[in-house]
Homo-oligomer: A and B are copies of this chain.
Amino acid sequence: MSGTAGLAPEFDVSEWIGGPPDLSLAELRGKVVVAYAFQMLCPGCVAEALPQARRLAAVFPREMVAVLGLHTVFEHHEAMMPLALRAFIQEYRIDFPVGVDRANGRELPRTMARYRMQGTPTILMIDRAGRLRRQHFGHVDDIALGAEVMALVAEAASPQAAAGAPAGRGCTDGECAA
């Protein structure tokens, strides 16, 4: 995890699946945003992070908390093209918008690089004023997640920083490091 003072960098995506084409963080100002960076072939993303994202979206009203996916492909590019991602989203019944992080050849995709993510899954928590309040690589406990998100919801929209997080390239059962 790392806390940051400034605004969360805008997402640079080639398209949004399941959301309006002009979806952006700026557009979501006023809501708490929780974004899950994932890869469809990352076991920990599929088994843990995405189901948690679905539970989160079910607990908080959409007007209050926007849950987003961000497909940040940094390996096996040919196996995880948007076409495959669409099939994945359909079969796994993902019902929140998923952005396709803009590819950058063999470099890390644009948004992933911009946030200096260590791998997948990575959770981003952005407050109502658009500030990145927490970035966490790996798993977050459900109770702690509910508490953190509610703390952001409960804020008037006044800033404060938060903190704390783990960190290697290749996938384990739980996560994939860039």
Chain A contacts to B: CB under 8 angstroms = 41-43, 46-47, 52, 55-56, 59-60, 75-76, 78-81, 83-84, 86-88, 90-92, 141-151, 153-154, 171, 176
Contacts of A86 in B (CB 8 A): 79
Q: With both chains docked as a complex, state the minimum distance between the C-beta of A31 and any C-beta of chain B, in angstroms.
A: 15
For A79, A80, A171, A176, which residue has the most chain B Cβ atoms within 10 angstroms? Answer: A79
Q: With both chains docked as a complex, state the minimum distance between the C-beta of A61 and any C-beta of chain B, in angstroms.
A: 11
A59 with B150: CB separation less than 8 A: no
In the assembled complex, the Cα of A143 lies from the Cα of B114 at a distance in Å of 29
Contacts of A79 in B (CB 8 A): 81, 83-84, 86-88
B154 with A87: CB separation less than 8 A: no
A60 and B146 in contact (CB under 8 A), knowing A78-B83, A80-B84, A141-B55? no
Contacts of A42 in B (CB 8 A): 91
A41's partner among B76, B78, B91 (CB-CB below 8 A) is B91
B142 with A150: CB separation less than 8 A: no
Contacts of A88 in B (CB 8 A): 41, 79
Contacts of A147 in B (CB 8 A): 59-60, 146-147, 149-150, 153
A154 with B143: CB separation less than 8 A: no
Q: With both chains docked as a complex, state the minimum distance between the C-beta of A107 and any C-beta of chain B, in angstroms.
A: 19
Sample of 5 A–B contacts (CB below 8 Å): A79-B81, A79-B83, A80-B84, A143-B145, A147-B149
